[in-house]
C-alpha cells in the first residue's frame, strides 16, 4: 500500500473512533476500495470488488457502510439523479465532469470553483453544507 493511503487509513480510523464506530476489517476494506478507485463507484461496484477478497460480505453492508461514511464526512455522493448513487472518497477540493454516454465521472480541479458565492436569496432559506460545480457532457473517448 502506498504511503498516502497509509495516512488516509490512519485518518479513517481516527474519524471512526471519534464517531464511536468500530474499525472492522470490512469497514476498512470498503474505505480502502473507495479511496483507491478513481471511478466514483456505486455501492454495487464496491461490493463486487470486495467480494473477491471477503466472500461473506453483503451488498446491504456495503450500502449502509458507504452511507455511514457519508454522514461522517469520509466520503460524499456525487450529484446526478436517475441512477445508482455514486460515492467519492476524494475529500480534496475538486469538481466533476460526467460523461452522459459512458457514465464516467472524472475529477478535475479549477481553483476558482472551490469557493463559489452562495446567492443571498438562497443562503436566507437553506443551510448550505457543500458546494460543488458539476459538468455534464461527452468525454474525449466518446466524442
Ligand atoms: Zn464517455
Ligand atoms: Zn471526485
Residue labelled with grid coordinates 436569496: 121
- Describe the crossing of helices 25-36 and 3-18 by its angle, rounded to 10 degrees: 130
**How many angstroms from the chain centroid is the CA of residue 131?**
15
The rounded distance, in Å, linking the Cα atoms of 95 and 8 is: 20
Report the separation in Å between the CA atom of 70 and the middle of ligand 2, taken as the mean of its atom positions. 14
Report the separation in Å between the CA atom of 98 and the middle of ligand 1, taken as the mean of its atom positions. 8
Which pLDDT value is given to residue 79?
Answer: 75
Please give all residues whose CB falls under 5 A of ion ligand 1, grouped by chain where several chains appear: 99, 101-102, 139, 142
Task: Please tell me the number of the ligand nearest to residue 98's CA.
Answer: 1
The rounded distance, in Å, linking the Cα atoms of 27 and 98 is: 28
Report the separation in Å between the CA atom of 90 and the middle of ligand 2, taken as the mean of its atom positions. 6
Report the separation in Å between the CA atom of 106 and the middle of ligand 1, taken as the mean of its atom positions. 10
Which pLDDT value is given to residue 69?
Answer: 95
Residues in the chain: 143
Tell me the per-residue pLDDT of 69-90, one tens digit each, with 9 for 90 and over.
Answer: 999 989 999 876 667 899 999 9
The rounded distance, in Å, linking the Cα atoms of 77 and 80 is: 9
Task: Please tell me the number of the ligand nearest to residue 138's CA.
Answer: 1
Tell me the per-residue pLDDT of 5-53, one tens digit each, with 9 for 90 and over.
Answer: 788 899 999 999 999 999 999 999 999 999 999 899 999 999 999 999 9
The Cβ of residue 132 has, within 10 Å, a number of other Cβ atoms equal to 14
Amino acid at each position: 500500500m502506498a504511503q498516502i493511503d497509509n495516512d488516509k487509513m490512519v485518518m479513517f480510523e481516527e474519524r471512526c473512533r471519534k464517531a464511536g464506530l468500530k474499525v472492522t476489517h470490512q469497514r476498512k476494506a470498503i474505505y480502502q476500495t473507495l479511496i483507491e478507485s478513481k471511478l466514483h463507484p456505486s455501492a454495487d461496484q464496491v461490493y463486487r470488488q470486495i467480494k473477491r477478497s471477503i466472500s461473506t460480505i453483503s451488498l446491504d453492508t456495503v450500502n449502509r457502510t458507504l452511507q455511514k461514511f457519508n454522514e461522517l464526512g469520509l466520503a460524499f455522493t456525487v450529484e446526478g439523479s436517475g441512477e445508482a448513487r455514486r460515492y467519492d472518497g476524494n475529500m480534496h477540493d475538486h469538481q466533476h465532469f460526467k460523461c452522459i454516454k459512458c457514465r464516467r465521472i472524472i475529477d478535475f480541479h479549477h481553483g476558482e470553483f472551490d469557493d463559489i458565492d452562495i446567492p443571498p436569496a438562497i443562503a436566507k432559506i437553506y443551510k448550505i453544507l457543500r458546494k460543488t460545480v458539476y459538468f455534464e457532457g461527452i468525454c474525449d473517448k466518446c466524442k
